[in-house]
């Protein structure tokens, strides 16, 4: 019968339409799931690369800090008396007790011209990182009174004296990355040393 055939065709039309709708929903759900998975993979890769770079810079910074500490020790060992008089502690301007120590291996305080990495014009950094970018800063804190007063206080305060009858030095290498706020150098590697005059015999 024509009317029965029309009903059958109409039912098939509704079924095809519903199937197309279900297929579209399934496709959108699959696309959403794939997007979430892809985003997760991208985040994981970026995090891994960032961690690798930070570890490389940490290793570089540690090596630079050790190198700087050794160079300062050699400088003091050459002529300890001259070293003490040259880098005598400045209590009126404590910032002058922190010296920039770049790859030219020369100690310069804040009154001297800042020397960046070789071939760079950076106003902030003086050593190259693991990628060859000028993004590491090496400084040396020197206190000929044997104290660590970088956070204020006096040598007589508890815990401030680090070297008795010696010179306290702290060689630090710092750097910044996307985890640091306000572009501050929030990462650092530091080596502290106590330098004494080996040529002076202790009083019996």
Whether residue 123 lies inside any domain: the answer is: yes
Whether residue 11 lies inside any domain: the answer is: no
Neighbours of 61 (CB within 10 A): 24
* Residues whose CB is less than 8 angstroms from the CB of residue 97 and which lie 6 or more positions away in sequence, other chains included: 87, 89, 90, 109, 141, 142, 143
The model carries a pTM of 0.71
Enclosing domain of residue 60: 41-195
CB contact at 8 A, 174 and 163: no
Helix (H) or strand (E) holding 199: none
Instruction: Tell me the pLDDT tens digit for each residue of 135-181.
Output: 899 999 999 999 999 988 889 999 999 988 899 999 999 988 877 87
Does the pLDDT of residue 46 top 60, yes or no?
A: no
Neighbours of 66 (CB within 10 A): 14
Whether residue 179 lies inside any domain: the answer is: yes
Q: 169 or 4, which is more confident? A: 169
Does the pLDDT of residue 44 top 90, yes or no?
A: no
pLDDT band at 21 (very low <50, low <70, confident <90, very high): low
CB contact at 8 A, 146 and 156: no
pLDDT band at 120 (very low <50, low <70, confident <90, very high): confident
**For 191, left (φ over 0), alpha (ψ -120 to 50), or beta?**
beta
Backbone angles phi, psi at 192, to 5 degrees: -100, 145
Does the pLDDT of residue 71 top 50, yes or no?
A: yes
| Alpha helices (H) along 79-185 | 80-86
Helix (H) or strand (E) holding 91: none
Whether residue 172 lies inside any domain: the answer is: yes
- What length is written for the chain? 204
| pLDDT value, residue 144 | 92
Whether residue 8 lies inside any domain: the answer is: no
Neighbours of 141 (CB within 10 A): 18
Whether residue 200 lies inside any domain: the answer is: no
Q: What is the DSSP string of 125-156?
A: --EE-TTS-EEEEEEEEEETTSB--TTS--TT
**Cα separations (Å) of 81 from 84, 90, 167, 185, 198?**
5, 17, 11, 34, 11
Tally of domains in the chain: 1
Whether residue 18 lies inside any domain: the answer is: no
Whether residue 15 lies inside any domain: the answer is: no
């Amino acid at each position: 019968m024509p009317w029965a055939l029309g009903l059958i065709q109409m039912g098939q039309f509704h079924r095809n339409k519903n199937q197309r709708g279900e297929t579209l929903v399934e496709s959108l759900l699959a696309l959403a799931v794939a997007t979430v998975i892809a985003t997760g993979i991208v985040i994981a890769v970026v995090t891994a690369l960032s961690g690798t770079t930070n570890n490389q810079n940490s290793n570089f910074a540690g090596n630079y800090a050790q190198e700087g500490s050794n160079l300062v020790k050699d400088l003091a060992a050459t002529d300890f008396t001259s070293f003490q008089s040259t880098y005598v502690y400045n209590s009126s301007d404590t910032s002058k007790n922190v010296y920039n120590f770049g790859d030219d291996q020369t100690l310069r305080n804040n009154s001297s011209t800042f020397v960046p990495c070789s071939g760079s014009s950076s106003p902030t950094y003086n050593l190259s990182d693991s990628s060859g970018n000028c993004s590491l800063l090496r400084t040396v804190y020197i206190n000929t009174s044997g104290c660590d007063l970088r956070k204020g206080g006096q040598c007589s305060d508890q815990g401030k004296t680090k070297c008795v009858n010696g010179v306290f030095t702290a060689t630090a290498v710092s750097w910044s990355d996307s985890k640091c706020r306000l572009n501050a150098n929030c990462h650092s590697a530091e080596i502290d040393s106590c330098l004494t005059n080996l040529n002076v015999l202790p009083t019996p």
